[in-house]
């Protein structure tokens, strides 16, 4: 007999801001004088969501699936990586319930871009925009993020998965042991 369980994964990523690179966050281009340094496009939002999804399905992390030592991933759109992980999750019988993302950046200001990021994340994950929460926070001038030297993202994702339930015969065998522990 099969049932459904909810599984949760969390992801985190941070990259240094550098001159000469385009800034990509949440699968969209964001106007900025600097972009994120990385082997791929450096999109910390999509990297955090990818890691969260991998965690929810107990499939390792982004570096195991897409190592930065592999030239195939140099400069790749992180949306391609997330799409591959989504397909893996679906093959394993998982469905995405929702995702919540927090971007930590002092600058550029991101409020005008959050709706577009929400739409793009929903598209990449195959869910409705209402299932995507995304917000931006500053570090109040603290650390590398607060100094405008880096951007980070945190993500939490919930998926439903099939879970095999114990057969009635196995449940019956365990009941007497539980009854003895309760003093029945």
DSSP string covering 101-141: EEEE-SSS--GGGHHHHHHHHHHHHTS-GGGEEEEEE--TT
CA 52 centroid distance within chain: 4
So what's the pLDDT on residue 4? 83
Residue 91 near residue 101 (C-beta atoms within 8 A): no
Measured from the Cβ of residue 182, the count of other Cβ atoms closer than 10 Å reads 6
pLDDT, one tens digit per residue, over 143-184 is: 999 999 999 999 999 999 876 655 555 555 555 555 545 554
Give the pairing type, strands 95-104 and 150-164.
antiparallel
The CA distance from 20 to 157, in Å, is 32
Q: For residue 60, what is the enclosing H or E element?
A: none
Name 102's bridge partners.
135, 154
Residue 1 pLDDT exceeds 50: no
Structure tokens at 182: 């309760």
The CA distance from 102 to 153, in Å, is 6
Domains contained in the chain, CATH given? 2-182 (3.30.1330.50)
pLDDT, one tens digit per residue, over 14-70 is: 999 999 999 999 999 999 999 999 999 999 999 999 999 999 999 999 999 999 999
Residue 40 near residue 29 (C-beta atoms within 8 A): no
Residue 101 pLDDT exceeds 50: yes
Note the pTM of the prediction, 2 decimals: 0.87
């Amino acid at each position: 007999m099969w049932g459904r369980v909810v599984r949760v994964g969390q992801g985190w990523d941070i990259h240094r801001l550098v001159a000469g690179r385009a800034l990509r966050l949440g699968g969209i281009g964001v106007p900025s004088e600097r972009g994120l340094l990385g082997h791929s496009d450096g999109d910390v939002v999509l990297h955090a969501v990818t890691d969260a999804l991998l965690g929810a399905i107990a499939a390792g992390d982004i570096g195991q699936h897409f190592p930065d030592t592999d030239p195939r991933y140099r400069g790749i759109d992180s949306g391609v990586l997330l799409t591959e992980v989504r397909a893996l999750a679906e093959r394993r019988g998982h469905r995405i319930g929702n995702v919540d993302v927090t971007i930590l950046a002092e600058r550029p200001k991101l409020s005008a871009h959050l709706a577009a990021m929400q739409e793009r994340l929903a598209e990449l994950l195959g869910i409705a925009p209402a299932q995507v929460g995304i917000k931006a926070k500053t570090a109040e001038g603290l650390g590398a993020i607060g100094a405008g030297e880096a951007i980070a993202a945190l993500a939490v994702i919930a998926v439903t998965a099939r879970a095999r339930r114990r057969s009635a015969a196995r449940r019956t065998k365990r009941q007497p042991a539980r009854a003895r522990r309760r003093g029945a």
